[in-house]
Amino acid sequence: MVARIAQEDQATFKRLAKKYQQYLTEDIAPVPLESRPVYLSELCALRASLEKARIVCEAEKNQAKEYLDLREELRMLLYGPFTGIHAKTLPVVQQGTVKKQLESLREILDMEQEIRTQKVEYDEIAIKVNALPTRTRLVAYVFVVHALCALHLTSILQRYQFTRKRDTTH
């Protein structure tokens, strides 16, 4: 954050430093009187900008501290027995809130695991179904089988008729 502020205000710093140097060396090269109020207003604007940046830095620092504190509380709740710290060190209200949050997170995790399991099962079934021949192929196969059966039946009938004729002629 500080680096960003320094980079944004660097040109302003340089310009104001140059003007200040001119005012200090006024004996050598006089500076017009009407430029002094402009310089003072620029200094006030820079001061306001720096004050705003300071407030933003403080707010970000507080947010980071709150985040780290909450993270530490959750760590103590989750891993307390392993590190010798108990969840009972938190106030009762915070314990209840954190427990509710943990329970809701567990429920969400369970639902997501169930969805994942169902997806894996679905994918396995889809692989098996996609490995099956298409309807067109099955219909063609049935026609081929019917044709082969018809040919086979025809050949059987022809042999039967042939043997019957032979038997009747003898």
Structure tokens at 170: 């003898």
pLDDT category of residue 85 using cuts at 50, 70 and 90: very low
Average pLDDT, the chain: 78
- What's 48-81 look like in SS3? HHHHHHHHHHHHHHHHHHHHHHHHHHHHHHHHHH
56 or 8, which is more confident = 56
Alpha helices in 86-134 (DSSP H): 92-131
Contacts of 165 (CB under 8 A, 6+ apart): none
pLDDT digits (tens, 9 = 90+) for 23-73: 767 665 566 666 778 778 888 888 888 888 888 888 888 888 888 888 887
Q: Per residue in 143-169, pLDDT tens?
A: 999 999 999 999 888 888 877 777 777
**Mean of the pLDDT values across residues 6-13?**
71
> Is pTM, for the whole model, over 0.75?
no
pLDDT at 118: 92
- Report the amino acid identity of residue 101: Q
Q: 10 Å Cβ neighbour count for 77?
A: 19
Residue 84 has pLDDT above 90, yes or no: no
